[in-house]
Amino acid sequence: MSGNRAVAYKGPGKVEVIDTPYPTFDLKDAPGINPANIGRKVDHGVILKTVATNICGSDQHMVRGRTTAPTDLVLGHEITGEVIEVGSGVEFIKKGDICSVPFNISCGRCRNCKERKTGICLNVNPDRPGSAYGYVDMGGWVGGQAEYVLVPYADWNLLKFPDRDQALEKILDLTMLSDIFPTGFHGAYTAGVTVGNTVYIAGAGPVGLAAAVSAQLLGAAVVIVGDLNEERLAQARSFGCETVDVSKGHPKDQIEQILGVPEVDCGVDAVGFEARGHGSDSSHEAPATVLNSLMDITAAGGALGIPGLYVTGDPGGIDEAAKVGSLSISLGTGWAKSLSFTTGQCPVMRYNRGLMMSILHDKVQIAKAVNAKAIPLEDAPRGYEEFDKGAATKYVLNPNGYIAA
């Protein structure tokens, strides 16, 4: 093998499919690669032929120019693939295995990994805990929106599907295991969702919809999803959610119309730092809006799951504080109500096997819930453009033709 095709960030608002080197078992210099990682040996890794790789809202933050991502960074952290080469240090993963790749890279050796905190591995990013494929400031591991990709620590990181034919039949569901399904589940789970709860989920993008499905899976009595986008709200209603159009005002009033009380047991932020205001302010960015409204509408003693992305470097922030991730949060409200908060990357490996079993045994249809649509790798720029405009679609790239038409 000598070539590879991949999706690269080419500056604010632009991505292109480019020719890029075929992966090898060491890290070479490339856009976004941490200098301390250059030359790092990856004999514990495998090379995957990509089966499916998805466009994520987190990628969109970079493509919009809202991070410090460098030009020509190869994108993509939601990866499912077939093993075609195995490093000399890999013992249990074999050539031909079809596997899901957790978006957060972890070593399996450090204290945090051993405590199942795989989103903040201490050994894969020289700058700070935590790493991911194709993402700014995450250690520089090359992204997986490509025909081929290198996955390190393969015996630890890869979730092997038990049956190849079954995996390919359910691939549009299984590809969600790399990120959005575990991330949405993490949001609902850390918000304390259990049987009989009422839940409010801010954001009807793919992660918000995955959180809604997860809340249903966890036994919630009522799941309410809020957004500005009617097409996405309709998608939430398609699998039994109540919805709130936050362009019409604070969600509290609409929640009271649904539940009879202006509060819920559990709250989930699936929006993140590009949040907009509510009501008449919905045309303006107001990055603390979702967090503050969730504290307002979540019952005392409740919890907030916050899988929505917040960053420490945002060139497009509305003010100098927002540009470094400093937001005007009403912490006093949270303190007075004894609310709990869980933030940060989802530790995918904590959930992915259980969610895989739910998919394989037909307990959940996550692809239908998020309206998954497979497109060729060469159509990635169109997928990014339509997703950025608010399409109620989860775009799945199909670079090697594994996904049937």
- Token duo for residue 393: 């679609």
Q: Write out pLDDT tens, residues 323-363.
A: 898 899 999 999 999 999 999 999 999 999 999 999 999 99
Output the DSSP codes for 284-308: SB-TTHHHHHHHHHEEEEEEEEE-S
CATH code, residues 5-179+347-397: 3.90.180.10
Higher pLDDT, 139 or 16: 16
Beta bridge pairs of residue 104:
132
Task: Identify the pLDDT of residue 385.
Answer: 96
Q: What is the torsion angle, in degrees rounded to the nearest 10, for the CA atoms of residue 239, residue 244, residue 245 and residue 247?
A: -150
Higher pLDDT, 138 or 73: 73
Position 59 pLDDT exceeds 80:
yes
Q: What is the torsion angle, in degrees rounded to the nearest 10, for the CA atoms of residue 110, residue 112, residue 115 and residue 119?
A: -120
Position 277 pLDDT exceeds 90:
no
Beta bridge pairs of residue 225:
201, 243
Q: Write out pLDDT tens, residues 370-386.
A: 999 999 999 999 999 99
Q: Which residues contact 403 (CB under 8 A, 6 or more apart)?
A: 51, 52, 171, 172, 374, 396
Global pTM reads 0.96
Grade residue 2 by pLDDT with cuts at 50, 70 and 90: low
- Token duo for residue 184: 């949405």
Q: What is the torsion angle, in degrees rounded to the nearest 10, for the CA atoms of residue 229, residue 324, residue 135 and residue 331?
A: -60
Q: Write out pLDDT tens, residues 215-242.
A: 999 999 999 999 999 999 999 999 999 9
Nearest Cα to 346, choosing from 82, 53, 4, 77? Answer: 77
Residue range 168-172: mean pLDDT, rounded:
97
Domain ranges of the chain: 5-179+347-397, 182-343
Q: What stretches of 238-362 show up as alpha helix (H) in DSSP? A: 251-259, 289-297, 331-336, 352-360
Task: Identify the pLDDT of residue 73.
Answer: 94
Position 282 pLDDT exceeds 80:
no
Q: Which backbone phi and psi does 238 adopt, to 5 degrees?
A: -65, -20
* Arch. (CATH architecture) of 182-343: 3-Layer(aba) Sandwich (3.40)
Alpha-carbon Rg for the chain, nearest whole angstrom, is 20
Task: Identify the pLDDT of residue 404.
Answer: 86
